[in-house]
Structure formats: structure tokens, C-alpha cells
Amino acid sequence: MAGTAGTPGTPRVLRAMNDRAALDLLLEHGPLSRTRIGELTGLSKPTASQLLARLEAAGLVLAGGTTEGRPGPGAQLYEVNPAAAYAAGLDVRPGRVVAAVADVTGRTVGRHETPTPGGSTGTSVVRQVTGALDGAVEAAGLARADVRRLVIGTPGAFDPGTGRLRYASHLPGWHSPGLLGDLAAALPMPVEYENDVNLAAVAEQRLGAARGHEDFVLLWNQEGMGAALVLGGRLHRGFTGGAGEVGFLPVPGAPLVRQVARTGSGGYQELAGAQAVPALARQLGVGPIPTGPYAEAAAALLARAARAGDDPHRRLLRTYATRLATGLASLVSVLDPELVVLSGAALAAGGEALRALVQDELAELAASRPRLVVGSVTEDPVLRGALESALATTRDEVFDTSRETRPRKG
């Protein structure tokens, strides 16, 4: 049985703090020599040597190559042992579930996509989740038991009181009673559930355009509209997990939508959601209109409008920017964030041209004037955020050397 952490200030706890600092530096900078670790942590050479020996014996670091380019023999380099732990993430969408496994350094080592036909039930959802996870685990050359933690990203949010999924009526099978219990019974590792847009914000905060920012809003537009609110460095989820469901926001320029829980939509979604872009393009004389899913059609139209120089495409981009800024003005007026990140396929497709227009419009509509940027985590941002979230908790557990006993991997 694992022991409890020592009293703050005791030698064991101080050693654990130094161990964690060194591990974080190795994650951030890659392979480092004993001398460099000592310089970055402020530890003496003997103490740094003892630290590295301790971490190597625990299976947390590996001795790799040596430094080059200097006279004399090269210094031994150390790096975090990738096999010290593994974590997994799932991105759940209508039509498919994507799973990935990452080693403790954050490198993705396995990925698998499972199609999800319409009419799914709670039982089939469990099969889809376990099938996607097992596919990613197999692709990584691992067993399911090797994964220490799983984070699942879905549209909407699970109500903490009822355990039922809210704000995502378009996700078949995920509203079944007892689903979370069934998934817990089928999966051997701890499982966390998070809103997909919140996970995109985690990815941007850890890896992308929001690094170093404690207060920002991420506006997402893909299959639906949503926002992630990061205040004081922490996600704000609200009482029921519904914070950021801005698609339901009543806005000028759109009819007042009532019974939004039944319709699954609201004013801002109707005004500026991806499904509004093809209709707006037709209205402004832009053609041809792409066929296929509206999220893909919207992305194609906005990408073309950002490149084209003709008047209809310019008007499409300007008009759509005004629609986006209309809803954003309410958010920034209340929250006063330092930064707004535009993310999701539709907003990413508009790129810098759309961002600049929204920035100008927002300056006219809101007293607060945050800086707008386009998200830089463009490949699987929800999945990447799920992995980053799972890895953060996994590292806290695995890198805690104050425990008397801990799992060791070679």
C-alpha cells in the first residue's frame, strides 16, 4: 500500500520537490546533463548526482547520449523515461470516436478511430469507447492495463447531480441512464469526462496560442458553437458544467429562440454557427456552395473568402465577422479576458483575415478590448487536450517520489 506524503519541510518532501522540478525541466527542455540540471535547479553537483541516481533507480529517467561539440569527453545526458507511464484520451463526435495513447513525455504512441453509426444505445456506446481505446492501445504495442488514466471529451457536459449528458442532444446513446456506471465497469483505469471545447482550451493553454495566459476565452465553431472560459488559470465549468454553452446566447440579429433545451440551438448558434454560413453565402451571391456536412461547407467557404479578392467573398467575410463579434461582445463585456482564441474548423479556416475583421468589429461593440488570436493547435485539438489533461494527473501521481512505494517501469 502506498504510504502517505511526508510532513512539509522534511528531507523526504524536499527531495520529492527537487525530483519533480528536475523531471519538469527534462520534460520542457529534453535531455540534460547533470551539470545543467544543477544549474537550472540551483542544486550542487553532488545533490544533482544523487537526484538523478534516485530517479534512474525509480525508472523515471534514463541515461541516454552524451553532449557533443566540446573538448574532452562528453557529459552524460538524462531524459524522462517515456515508458514510466501512459495516459489516453478520447474525442467523441457524432459519427466517430477517436482515441489516442501518449507516453508520459506527451508523445502520441497509438491512435485509432472507430465509426459510430446512428441509433447508438448505451450498450453500443460502451463497445465504441472500449473498441477505440483498445485499438489505440494495440497500435501503441501496449495492453489496456498499461494506461493509468483516460479522459473522454464530449460535446455538452455531464450533470453532476444526475450523471446525464446535457447540451448535446445530437450525440446518440450518450444520454442513456447508467451510462457512466457501465463505462466505469468496462474500463480498468480512472476515467474523467470533460467538455470538448474545454479540452481544446487545455490544448491551447498547454501547447498553443494561450500559453502563459491566465485569463482567456476560447470561441469554438465546428459542428456547434461553444466557448471555454479560463479564469485565473482554471477552467470555469459552472454549476452544472454548462458554462460556455454560448450557442444558446440570445443575440441581436437573430430571432429569440425559446425552449432551447428542446431545440438544441439558440440565437448565437443561429446567427453565427457553421450552419449559417452557406445560407449567408447564398444571400450575398457567393458561389458555388460546397455540398456535404455544413461544418465542412462552412470551413471551405470561409477559407475561400479569406483568399478571394472579389466583392461577394469580401462581404461574406465582413458580414460573418460582424455576426461573430456580436456574441463575443457580450462575453468580453462580462469577463474582460486578456485574450480570445478563435478555434474550431470554421474559425480556423477564416484565418488571419477573419480574425482581423472580428478584432475591428469587437473594438466597436465592447468596451473591453482583448487581443484576438487564431488557435495554433489545429490537429485534433480536443483529443490533444484530453491527452494533456490525462497526462497532468498521471504525472502528478507517477512523479511523486515522496510515496514510500510506487510503480516502477523500466
Which pLDDT tens digit goes with each residue over 177-195? 889 999 999 999 999 999 9
Check residue 150 and report its DSSP letter: E
Task: Please report which confidence band the pLDDT of residue 357 belongs to, taking 50, 70 and 90 as the band edges.
Answer: very high
pTM score: 0.91
Is the pLDDT at 115 greater than 60? The verdict is yes
Query: 54-75 burial by CB neighbour count: b if 16+ within 10 A, else e?
Result: bbeebbbbbeeeebeeeeeeeb
Is the pLDDT at 405 greater than 70? The verdict is no
Query: Which pLDDT does position 50 carry in this prediction?
Result: 93
Is the pLDDT at 1 greater than 80? The verdict is no
Q: Where are the extended beta strands (E) located within 67-199?
A: 76-80, 86-93, 96-103, 108-115, 147-154, 157-158, 165-166, 191-195
Q: What percent of the chain has pLDDT above 70? A: 94
